């Protein structure tokens, strides 16, 4: 019993200590009332105990944004909403969330980590990201953000979610709840790091719901050839290219999947540099 209590305490501390590295540890509740389509009531995130090196959340019923602010003298007026991966079953919350946010704030970006609904609530996750973009856009004056420089960044399943939000910005997925929902939920730029589930169409083609309209924002994609989900990047990049839209694809020979920013793979060291350079060119 003591061991279980100790594990729980460590995991909870890991989950929330990341806020100490930012100048704000605000958690913004996305839905002021009932969460659309959610059967369960609002509860704190449920932590999965088995993952010793990653803080994994295994259930979310009350979606939130965790805010990470750059130092005022470094702020560049751009914001990025981060969608951690985890197969739509869990959220790798630190490895593909808070650690990424801390890196982005050092570059001057205001970062938000999205706690979207899981497990296996893809429709709810899209609602959560659309709502998150609108909430951030409604509070640009609070954080000193340019309203036209709000992007999304996703890893693995979070890449799937980010791609969906970038294609389905005109799709009404929930009944609007306040004035924030009058604003656009179209991201201004999109970053997909080892994205998954984008090739679920016929013959491993583009997933049918990902309709590529002419207003899909500029997209950066990073993937490795030995990733089991590698075809997702190729299919998405090809569809954007065929539509004449802005896309930058980087495909390395190896690196696997799920490395985040952590050392140990060449891919994990290269994608941040390429992403930083792309952001500078895209947002200049």
CA distances from 195 to 82, 108, 114, 160 (A): 13, 25, 16, 6
Average pLDDT over residues 166-171: 97
pLDDT recorded at residue 50: 66
pLDDT (tens digit per residue) in 97-123? 999 999 999 999 999 999 999 999 999
The CATH number for 35's domain is 3.40.50.1820
Report whether 69 contacts 38 (CB < 8 A): no
Chain-wide mean pLDDT for the chain?
A: 91
pLDDT (tens digit per residue) in 223-240? 999 999 999 999 999 999
Q: How many domains does the chain have?
A: 1
**Which of the four pLDDT bands, split at 50, 70 and 90, describes residue 195?**
very high
pLDDT recorded at residue 99: 97
Q: What is the number of other CB atoms lying within 10 angstroms of the CB of residue 9?
A: 10
pLDDT recorded at residue 51: 63
Torsion sign (Cα): 279, 282, 283, 284: positive
Task: Please report the DSSP string for 132-195 in residue order.
Answer: HHHHHHHTHHHHT--TT-EEEEEETHHHHHHHHHHH-TTS--S---SGGGGS----S-EEEES-
pLDDT recorded at residue 171: 96
Structural domain that includes position 41: 2-282
**Cα–Cα dist 147/36, whole Å:** 26
pLDDT recorded at residue 17: 39
């Amino acid at each position: 019993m003591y061991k279980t209590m100790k594990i729980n305490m460590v995991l909870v501390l890991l989950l929330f200590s990341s806020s100490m590295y930012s100048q704000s540890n605000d958690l913004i509740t996305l839905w002021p009332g009932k969460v659309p389509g959610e059967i369960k009531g609002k509860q704190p995130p449920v932590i999965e105990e088995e993952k010793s090196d990653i803080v994994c959340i295994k259930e979310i019923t009350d979606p939130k944004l965790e805010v990470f602010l750059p130092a005022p003298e470094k702020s560049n007026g751009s914001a990025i909403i981060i969608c951690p991966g985890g197969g739509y079953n869990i959220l790798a919350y630190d490895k593909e969330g808070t650690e990424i946010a801390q890196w982005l704030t050092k570059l001057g970006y205001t970062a938000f980590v999205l706690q979207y609904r899981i497990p296996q609530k893809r429709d709810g996750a899209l609602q959560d990201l659309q709502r998150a973009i609108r909430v951030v856009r409604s509070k640009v004056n609070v954080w000193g953000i340019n309203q036209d420089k709000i992007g999304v960044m996703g890893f693995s399943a979070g890449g799937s979610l980010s791609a969906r939000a970038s294609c389905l910005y005109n799709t009404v997925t929930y009944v609007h709840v306040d004035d924030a929902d009058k604003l656009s939920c179209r991201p201004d730029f999109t970053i997909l790091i080892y994205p998954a589930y984008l090739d679920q169409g016929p013959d491993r083609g583009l997933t049918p719901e990902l309709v590529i309209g002419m207003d899909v924002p500029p997209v950066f994609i990073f993937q490795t050839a030995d990733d089991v989900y590698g075809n997702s990047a190729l299919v998405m990049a090809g569809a954007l290219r065929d539509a004449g839209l802005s896309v930058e694809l980087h495909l390395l020979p190896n690196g696997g999947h799920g490395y985040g920013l952590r050392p140990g793979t060449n891919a994990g060291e290269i994608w941040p540099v390429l992403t930083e350079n792309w952001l500078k060119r895209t947002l200049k």
